[in-house]
A and B are shown apart, each in its own frame.
Chain A
Amino acid sequence: MLSRVAESVYWMSRLVERAENVSRFIGVNLNLSLDLPDRGGEGEQWRPLVVTSGDQEAFSERYGEPTRSNVIRFLATDEENPNSIRSCLATARENARTVRECISEEMWEHLNRFHLMVRESCSVRGGEGPVDEPFEFFERVRQAGQQFLGVTDATMTHGEAWQFCRLGRRLERADKTTRILDVKYYLLLPEPEDVGTPFDSLQWAALLRSAGALQMYRQKHGRITPRDVVDFLVLDLHFPRSVLHCLAQADAALHAVTGTPPGTFASPAEQRLGKLHARLAFTRADEIVAGGMHEFLDDTQGQLNATGDGIHETFFAPQPA
């Protein structure tokens, strides 16, 4: 397929996944703010979201101190933040518009309506809509994102373009799961000695719920412990939002595109993704906790970015005439 088309399909899919994950991400705090006594003040509770989103600098420049309403605005409705839900959808839709001949009509129609829905919601009461009614808005974004996934799988030929969709979606989801997990690193407990208390468990539970993982976690591990949460969200082989599961799927998509035998590589993209995949596949949760969860997540994000660069180099960058 055309390199330009592959790139557009990849980003279309990635950005829809990103929008869905941003809504999950904010959900961590919306859940928590209702559950926890507010000790550190509003700013302390919302700062972690800005930090882990990776866009702290852009945020501080424009908004200063984080509050509930400006963090939601920044992550959801801000047109100048390229990673806000609104921008993600606008760009995803623009990408889809350039490849309409290659995706299914139903995908286009769904994505176009998704974009219009977000745009309209964001203009309700001068942009205060999602801030006032966050649960409803984020729920709709999450649902529409999942529907897009369903429409994609059900109506698009599972050929090369679909594999690029899958690749983009899985890399994005892996990255966002690490960020949702990383929020915990920055969340303050009311008192230092609260580690291991119900407060601590509440935070972990909120986090699992945002990743859509609470119920599945309980089925597997029952009681909430940090080690098991890491085990589930990072290393679970079967949970579709765990980092390892995402990497395995991304790896499979990549090899389906290139035809290189699994476990081998012929391009920078395959090499980097394969290394990262292997590293996680042969790691235990204890080792991650012992070595520092935050450091581990940071490093994983770095390698995911490098994989993204590899994909660009291998497939999208213009070939010389």
Chain B
Amino acid sequence: MLPMFQAQSFAPSGGAAEGTPVEDLFREYELDGFYDETVSGDRSPRPASDRLCRRIAELAPGDLARRQAAAETAMRRLGITFSVYGDARGTERIIPFDILPRVITAEEWKTVEAGLKQRIVALDLFIGDVYGDQKILNDGVVPRAAVESGEGLKKACMGLKPPKNVWCHVTGTDLVRDGDGTLYVLEDNLRVPSGVSYVLQNRQLLKQTFPGLFSGNDIRPVDDYPWRLLECLQWLCGGRVENPVAAVLTPGIYNSAYFEHSFLAQQMGIPLVEGRDLMVRDGFVQMRTTRGPQRVDVLYRRVDDEFLDPAAFRKDSMLGVPGLMEAYRSGRVALANAPGTGVADDKVIYTYVPDMIKYYLNEDPILPNVPTHRCGDPESLQHVLNNLQGMVVKPANESGGAGMLIGPASSEKEREEFAAKIKEDPRDYIAQPTLALSRVPVLCEPTPEGELNLAGRHVDLRPFIVRGPETYVLPGGLTRVALTPGSLVVNSSKGGGSKDTWVLSGDGGDG
């Protein structure tokens, strides 16, 4: 009898016969003296990426580019976009996605995870301390002036006791790797960090467009992030209400991260609300529904502190809910993240995080800070001004890469102007040596001969941490790539792209 399905005999497309030996994959690849995440110094794949690279080498010419194009089409169809600020018509763009994943070994991840947990626990204690007893300030470990001069300190939060004593429920910490391979913490995003939806979507896209890449690699899943977040939100209401109603609060469709707000609400299966959908009545936060007002118990809010409640913060806010802070203070609604976390999301306070870890936990920091000069210290200021060309100078309170000076890429005139700005308000600036950010190969336009063209681009990594009943670190995080050759700026608002990020469970090599 014939078998029911007869197997068709053909050489699999991208069979070994058509491909390149893996040794040749990076023959033309330039390291330019940088640390590469995928390729080691002798241009052979690092052990964790070895299986991946063999897979790529086996592909028929043009296959990778075809899959890359398919991924971009899928993004457009799925409407995975961000809105461009300053464009009245609300133009949407996709964040360029590079199809080659970045791989992290299980061993390295173990350290990163422990380091992030340690850091977020200390930061959370610090925020509670600043708004409470202020022990760390009284003990002079962090100077009072450094805290009080920051814009992140919110008077309205003094004496606040957030539910379960947690302030930062969701954190996105930016990590970068320097030339010698050390991972540093670049900054802690404690307010309303975004990007996690791209982590989930990138994984989904890669699975769709390149399922073959996953076989044989033991990759830790990321899909349960929304569930972890929901669990955290419900936990915050624990003991207060029986079946808590949670919602995501968004500034609205023109916010650059709107896609993410909507995506997370959808994934968690909870309503996405805007300020105008909410009101405070009888001390409780209520949604305006087709059947009249309905109580909300916890908000995952993606609206900045300043705009949250015109009665407590900016009076002109159209995005907020009058009376929300009062309801929060009285414990009738939970907010994640708590208002006021910005006090620790400040580039001057950042320089004290290693001291906080020592002070609160009596431990040594597992993940180092980038060596940072506070321009507020007169000695450091002089050093920074004398060495501007080799430094990256950042305003203490900006995000998204705004208002930075990148010394090596600046002109004489730009440096002069920037020096004047620093001198005017030294507290507002910090300076760091220009790091030789690590690179990854990205797929570029094929060579004139039509051959696969991989080129190195600088990257960072933003892992996400959720503090619920337990502290959960999403394996991997968002790998952002500076797509412009030589550029160090990875922000999506400045032309950065992203990649799927794999954390391996095993060693990932051929063993």
A contacts, CB < 8 Å to B: 1-6, 94, 97-102, 105, 108-109, 112-113, 116, 160, 257, 315, 318-319, 321
Q: Which residues of A contact B271 (CB under 8 A)?
A: 1-2, 5, 101-102
Interface residues of B in 233-290 (CB under 8 A from A): 248, 253, 258, 262-263, 265-266, 269-274, 276-277, 279-281, 287-290
Contact B263 A100 (CB under 8 A): yes
CB neighbours of A6 from chain B (8 A): 289-290
CB A216 to nearest CB in B, in angstroms, measures: 35
CA distance A276 to B263 in the complex (A): 40
Give CA–CA (A100, B280) in the complex, Å.
Answer: 26
Q: Is B273 a contact partner of A2 (Cβ separation < 8 A)?
A: yes
Residues of A within 8 Å of B266, CB to CB, are: 100-102, 105
Contact with A along B279-304 (1 / 0, CB 8 A): 11100000111101100000000000
Residues of A within 8 A of B315 (CB): none
B78 within 8 A of A: yes
Say yes or no: A112 contacts B280, CB within 8 Å: no
A4 to B, closest residue via Cβ = B277
Is B76 an interface residue, CB under 8 A from the partner? yes
Residues on A with beta carbons closer than 8 Å to the beta carbon of B287: 2
Residues of A within 8 A of B277 (CB): 2-4
The answer to whether A2 touches B288, judged by C-beta atoms less than 8 angstroms apart, is yes
Which residues from chain B contact A3 at a C-beta distance below 8 Å?
A: 277, 288-290
Q: Interface of chain A, helix or strand or loop or mixed?
A: helix
**In the complex, how many residues of chain B place their beta carbon closer than 8 angstroms to a beta carbon of chain A?**
29
A-B contact count (CB 8 A): 72
| B77 in the interface (beta carbon within 8 A) | yes
Which of B77, B269, B289, B322 has a CB less than 8 Å from the CB of A2? Answer: B289
Cross-chain contact of A321 among B253, B265, B280, B289 (Cβ < 8 A): B280
Q: Which residues of A contact B79 (CB under 8 A)?
A: 97, 100, 108-109, 112
- Which B residues touch A101, using CB under 8 A? 248, 262-263, 265-266, 269-272
Chain B neighbourhood of A315, CB < 8 A? 290
Contact A257 B279 (CB under 8 A): no
Closest 3 pairs (CB-CB, A-B)? A101-B265, A101-B266, A321-B279
Q: Measured between alpha carbons, how far is A94 from B276 in the docked complex, in Å?
A: 18
- 26 A-B pairs (CB sep. < 8 Å): A2-B271, A2-B277, A2-B288, A2-B289, A5-B271, A97-B79, A97-B262, A98-B253, A99-B272, A100-B262, A100-B263, A100-B266, A100-B272, A101-B262, A101-B263, A101-B266, A101-B269, A101-B271, A102-B272, A108-B79, A113-B77, A257-B290, A315-B290, A318-B288, A319-B279, A321-B281
Interface class of chain B by DSSP? mixed
Measured in the bound complex, the distance between the Cα atoms of B80 and A112 in whole Å is 11
For the complex, give the distance between the alpha carbons of A280 and B293 in Å.
Answer: 36
* Cβ-closest chain A residue relative to B248: A101
For residue A108, which residues in chain B have a CB less than 8 angstroms away from its CB?
Answer: 78-79
Whether B262 lies near A4 (C-beta < 8 A) is: no
- Chain A residues within an 8 Å CB radius of B248: 101
Q: How far is the CB of A241 from chain B (nearest CB, A)?
A: 28
Chain B 74-94 interface mask (CB, 8 Å, partner A; 1/0): 001111000000000000000
B275 to chain A, nearest CB (A): 11
Cross-chain contact B290 with A319 (CB below 8 angstroms):
no
Q: Which listed residue, B78, B253, B276, B293, touches A109 by the CB 8 Å rule?
A: B78
Q: Within the complex, what minimum Cβ distance (angstroms) separates B442 from chain A?
A: 26
In the assembled complex, which residues on chain A have CB atoms less than 8 Å from the CB atom of B280?
321
Given known contacts A100-B262, A319-B288, A116 and B76 CB-to-CB distance under 8 angstroms? yes
Extra contacts besides A2-B287, A100-B265, A109-B77 (9): CB < 8 Å: A2-B273, A4-B277, A100-B79, A101-B248, A101-B263, A101-B272, A102-B271, A102-B272, A319-B288
CA distance A251 to B274 in the complex (A): 30
Query: With A and B bound together, what is the CA distance between A161 and B109 in angstroms?
Result: 43
Interface residues of B in 112-132 (CB under 8 A from A): none
Which of B78, B269, B270 has a CB less than 8 Å from the CB of A112? Answer: B78
Complex-state Cα separation, A94 to B277, whole angstroms: 18
Cβ distance B271 to chain A, nearest Cβ, rounded Å: 6
Q: Are B77 and A1 in contact (CB under 8 A)?
A: no
Give Cα A321–Cα B258 distance, bound, in whole angstroms. 26
